[in-house]
Structure formats: structure tokens, C-alpha cells
Amino acid sequence: MKLYQTSFIVLIVTAFSFGCSSEPNKIQVPISGQMKVDSSLDSSGDYSGIELLIAFQTAEGALQDTVFYARTDEDGFYSGVATIDERDIYPVIISRNSNTFGVINMIIAEGDTVELNAELPNVSGTFTLSSYENDAYKTYNRLERNFNRVALFINAGAIGSDSVEVELQKWSDLYWTFHNDKEGTLAADNAATSALSLLQGWNDSLMMQRMDSLLTKDKRISNSVRQLGVHYHAETGGLDAAISFLDSLETISDSNEERMNIRMTKVEVLFDSARTEQVSELLAQFKTDYSSNENVMQWANNVEYDLDVLAPGQRFPDFQLQTTTGSIASNESFAGAPFLIEITRLDNPLYQEQFERTVAIYQIYRSFGLKVLTVPIYSSETRVNAFFQERTKLWDVVQPGSFDVDQFLDLYNINQLPTRFLINDKGEIIRRYEGTEYDEIVRGLQQIITQQETES
């Protein structure tokens, strides 16, 4: 089950970022501003030829579709219209004479008007970005930073256990207030997710009360909030309760796209629970209903491949990969031990953000035999060395250039980075985890430990 990131990140939109839209109408948003050049770089006062580009790319860097393009005049002014399918965070690449000077993340949303100004060469240090959506997100980011400081103290044990729930309640309330104040913005949606997730596991009644409030107002909830509801119902009433929850969301929704996304979530929940027969039946109906949607059909075909090759309980496909130490990592080398294999780009901001958490998981569970293998995609030996220059390398990393990347991605049906597979000590797949699904990894590890204790 996929969870969306709630932080501003510098990220080129790639083919690994998959989204579906069944709505034919495009959203058009005006973007304008002024780009200047510091006199130390160009003293002519001619600011023309600065380009601003938002484009989808493949992982190899080939352009697929342009969302926005503008070029400055002599005074540095530019304007244009971005054409998008849905509100989201988009990266604006700013360049001149084929030299990229910066990438700025921008929220583009229906009904908004965006102004972006900056000065070359220090784009990241000089830019100003203004619109209703982007201004709301700046405020949300400040709230996030303040909470993250508190979270560091909580994780370090600097806040007494009796006070932790008080702090979580306080910050949940702050996020919820922000959501109500900025209702309708992307920032408000993210704040609602934060408000509910901070309550998960210790104040579920308030979490579900606030979820009901969201549904009453909008008849819909974000993917992340929906996942919280699925987890709650699965833990309190089992898989059938979680499916009933999704059925209820589908019934009340007045959006065709929302209903489609709910059905996709249902397929993923059943797939993760190894209900392969039900998944096959749902997929068959799904492909009939959405046969004209190319993106959705691609998703359905991917799930069908996973059912055949990568479903929970299946043996993990055989592999042999050379590591940076010269050893060979394979099914045989990991035999008898659970292992986590992670496929990622090392320059992926989400992976870099998650790395310390992977270290923590490894240090906790290696006493149960856990091993980890990192497969760096589209990397080089220099980049691998640079990545671990300031990080401790506790497990094996596959040698860049020692394997066919495209063939590897096809074999393991990789659609999002990072992607991780957890395999038990018998070589069987526990689950695949995409993006931010770290809590699920811990649950999978606990499942493995329980199995080992039962068998011993």
C-alpha cells in the first residue's frame, strides 16, 4: 500500500512516480515572474534566455511530456501556463545555456496563480515563491520543522513517557487546527494526515472521529488517511473489516477517480494478505471497467505479474549480484536467514531521509539473523563511495555496473523508488514495500520472528 510523502523534496518527476487519472479535463495554471543574473556571473544586464521547465522523465533522463516551459526576455520576465492532470508538487528546473542552476519545488493547483522569482547562479538561496497554495505550504513546513524538533526529543527519550501522549495530542490538535484554517489546500490535506497519524495506536477513537469529519465534509479522504483507516479496521476487526471500510468509502464517493483509487487500494490490501483468488477476480472486473485508461491497465498488468512471480509466500526469484567487497550475494548466500533487499537510487531524497531508520532496523533485528542488501540503480562506484563517505556501511551493497539495470527492474517489476522486499529464512517473500512503508516492514519482521519462535 502506497503512502504519499508530506515533505517538500527536490525530485525530478520520473517514470517511477506513478499516478492515475481518469478525468479527461486538464488543469491550466498561470505561472510568471522574473529571473535575474548576479553581476558576478554576467554584468551585461541582459537576463534573456533563462529557461524554466517542468517535464516528466524516464529514469534514464529521456523527456516524456512537458508540463510547463517558459523563457525570459531581456529584462528577465517570463510567463506561461502549466497544464496538469492533478494538483501536486512539481519540480521547476531553471537553466541557461544548457547549464542547470537550480530546481525549485512548486505546488500547482487548480484556481491558483503562481509567481516565482530568483537570481542566478544561487537560485536556491534567492528564490521567492508565492501563491495561495504555496504560501500555505510554507506555513505547514514551519509547523513540520517545529514538530520534528519535538520528535527528536521524544525519540531520544528526553521527554518522559507520561508526557509523550500529552505532546502528541498537542501537536495533533495544532495540525488539525491548521487543516481547518487552510481547508482545501494541499498543505491542509497533509496536515490532516499528520493530525490523524499522531493519534494512531493510542487514541484511535479521536483518529476515527476526525476521519469521519473529513468524510462528512468532502466525501473523500487522502490516500494516506485512507491507509490509516485500513490499518485500524484490519487490526480491530481483521481483513474483512478493512475491506468493508473500503467498500463504504466507495459507496459514498461522488468521484469516479476516487472510486477507482479505492478499488486499487482494495486490490493491494488483498494482495498483501495473500488473497490471490479474490485479487484475480477483482482485477478481471477492474480491467473490464477501465480498459480505456492506459495508465490503469498498466497498473493492473503489473499486479497480475506480481501475482504470478512476486506474491507473498512465493519463493523470491533467483539472483546473483556482485557486491562492492567482491563477494556474490544470492539466494544461496542468504539461505537460512531473513533478508531485506532494497532497490533505490542513492541520490533519491526519500531514500537518503530513510537511511538512518534502515540502520536502526538492522541494528535491532540483526540479532534475529536479519541481513540487508542495497541495489543502487543508475549509479557509479564514485557515487556509492561518496554516499557512504559520511555514513556507516553496515551491509553489502551491489557493485554498480555489474548487472543489467533494466533487466533487473523488469524482473522485480519496480515502479517506485525506493522499493524493498522482505524475505523470510526459507526464501519466501513476506511483502514488497514501496516508498515510505517502514511501519509495515517492522510488522513483517515481527511476523518472521513469530514464525521462528513457533517452529523452534
- Residue-wise pLDDT tens digits, 52-64: 999 875 444 444 6
Tell me how crowded residue 298 is: count the other CB atoms within 10 A of its CB. Answer: 12
| Alpha-carbon distances, residue 275 vs 23, 142, 267, 429 (angstroms) | 30, 43, 9, 14
Look at residue 202 and tell me whether its pLDDT is greater than 60.
Answer: yes
Q: Cα–Cα–Cα angle for 291, 219, 303, nearest 5°?
A: 30
122 and 177 co-located in one domain: no
> How much is the mean pLDDT over the chain?
89
Nearest to residue 271, comparing CAs of 283, 262, 261, 259? 283
In a domain, 17, yes or no: no
In a domain, 346, yes or no: yes
Tens-digit pLDDT profile for residues 344-369: 999 988 899 889 999 999 999 999 99
CA-CA distance, 282 to 303, in Å (whole number)?
11
pLDDT for res 214: 95
- The residue range of the domain holding 50 is 27-128
On the CB side of 315, CA atoms within 13 Å amount to 9
pLDDT for res 57: 54
Nearest to residue 114, comparing CAs of 91, 80, 70? 80
425 and 284 co-located in one domain: no
Q: Residue 422 is part of a domain; what is its CATH number?
A: 3.40.30.10
Nearest to residue 68, comparing CAs of 76, 58, 57, 80? 80
205 and 93 co-located in one domain: no
In a domain, 15, yes or no: no
Task: Determine the straight-line distance between the first and last CA of the chain, rounded to whole angstroms.
Answer: 32
Confidence of residue 280 (pLDDT cuts 50, 70, 90): very high
CA-CA distance, 145 to 49, in Å (whole number)?
36
342 and 375 Cβ atoms separated by less than 8 Å: yes
The residue ranking higher by pLDDT, 224 or 207, is 207
253 and 146 co-located in one domain: yes
Boundary (domain end) residue, out of 128, 154, 178:
128
Look at residue 445 and tell me whether its pLDDT is greater than 60.
Answer: yes
101 and 123 Cβ atoms separated by less than 8 Å: yes
Tens-digit pLDDT profile for residues 382-425: 999 999 998 989 999 999 999 999 999 999 999 889 999 999 99
162 and 259 co-located in one domain: yes
In a domain, 10, yes or no: no
251 and 346 co-located in one domain: no
For residue 112, the SS3 value is coil
63 and 81 Cβ atoms separated by less than 8 Å: no
The residue ranking higher by pLDDT, 438 or 287, is 287
pLDDT for res 198: 96
Tens-digit pLDDT profile for residues 131-164: 999 999 999 999 999 999 999 888 788 888 889 9
Boundary (domain end) residue, out of 285, 309, 333:
309
**Residue 80 parent element (H or E):** strand 77-84
Look at residue 279 and tell me whether its pLDDT is greater than 60.
Answer: yes
106 and 160 co-located in one domain: no
pLDDT for res 65: 81
**Residue 192 parent element (H or E):** helix 186-197
398 and 373 Cβ atoms separated by less than 8 Å: yes
305 and 357 co-located in one domain: no
142 and 275 co-located in one domain: yes
Boundary (domain end) residue, out of 279, 309, 339:
309
Tens-digit pLDDT profile for residues 71-125: 999 999 999 999 998 899 999 999 999 999 999 999 999 999 999 999 999 999 9
Tell me the whole-structure pTM to 2 decimals.
Answer: 0.71
Look at residue 24 and tell me whether its pLDDT is greater than 70.
Answer: no
CA-CA distance, 413 to 435, in Å (whole number)?
14
Q: Residue 224 is part of a domain; what is its CATH number?
A: 1.25.40
CA-CA distance, 305 to 326, in Å (whole number)?
32
Residue with cell string 465534509: 217
In a domain, 16, yes or no: no
In a domain, 301, yes or no: yes
Radius of gyration of the chain (CA): 23
Look at residue 11 and tell me whether its pLDDT is greater than 50.
Answer: no
pLDDT for res 61: 45
426 and 394 Cβ atoms separated by less than 8 Å: no
CA-CA distance, 368 to 361, in Å (whole number)?
11
In a domain, 48, yes or no: yes
252 and 335 co-located in one domain: no
381 and 333 co-located in one domain: yes
The domain tally of the chain equals 3
pLDDT for res 64: 62
CA-CA distance, 339 to 179, in Å (whole number)?
40
In a domain, 14, yes or no: no
State the maximum Cα–Cα separation within the chain, in Å, rounded to a whole number: 77
Q: Residue 98 is part of a domain; what is its CATH number?
A: 2.60.40.10
Q: pLDDT above 70 covers what percent of the chain? A: 93
Rounded average pLDDT over 310-333: 94
Alpha helices in 254-348 (DSSP H): 256-272, 276-289, 294-309
Dump strand ranges (E) for 112-220.
Answer: 114-120, 128-130
172 and 265 co-located in one domain: yes
